[in-house]
Amino acid sequence: MKTIATLCCVLLLATFAVAQGAPAASKNPVTDTVRQIFENQQRNLIAAADEMPADKYTFHPTEGQISFAQMMAHVATSNAFLCERIGGQAPPDNITKVKAEDGKDKIVAAVKDSFSYCAAAMKAVDDSKLADEVTAYRNAKRPRAWALIALTNDFADHYAAASGYLRAAGMLPPSAQRQQQAAPAPPKQ
């Protein structure tokens, strides 16, 4: 059953890679695709962490939501957890022990360090290691492919949330800023 699930994940991500313009001749279509997603989301999430002013790190759009600081600290610790499963090396303490109370400078440093740590982990993995067993949440055993897919899911979730917080605080998210800058000027009337 694990082999079938892993094969399905490989085929799904390989299909995504082809659709995204990844080289068809890749020997590692899954890990290469995750690396492509990683590069884009790394840029977005670090820029979002930088974009929010320090005095708004305690901001949360509604009473029931966590603060922006809590979310960014979670980004760092989540990256650490998943990338440890991907690369097999323990993450640095400044990533795993960052807290919302640490303030923007420490949190942004931890987010940046978590992406550097993940980049190193990604270099250590290829598609031949996707079926290797890793320990997931609550000590569940999963294939390494699970950690790669969970990482890309987290990136999407975390950036969507960060974008919502930035917009609610009256700012434009980094990806929207890039789109706005790339848009052609409206015609003169």
- Which amino acid, residue 8? C
Is residue 149 a contact partner of residue 32, using CB atoms and an 8 Å limit? no
At residue 189, does pLDDT exceed 90? no
pLDDT, tens digit, 9 for 90 and up, residues 43-83: 999 999 999 999 999 999 999 999 999 999 999 999 999 99
Q: pTM to 2 decimals?
A: 0.83
Residue for token digits 């603060």? Answer: 67
For residue 11, the model assigns a pLDDT of 46
At residue 15, does pLDDT exceed 80? no
pLDDT above 90 coverage of the chain, percent: 80
d(CA 188, CA 152): 42
For residue 21, the model assigns a pLDDT of 56
Q: Which two tokens stand for residue 28?
A: 């590692």
For 166, counting Cβ atoms within 10 Å of its Cβ (0-12 exposed, 13-18 middle, 19+ buried), the class is: buried
**According to CATH, what is the number of the domain 2-170?**
1.20.120.450
| pLDDT average, residue stretch 102-108 | 97
d(CA 185, CA 44): 24
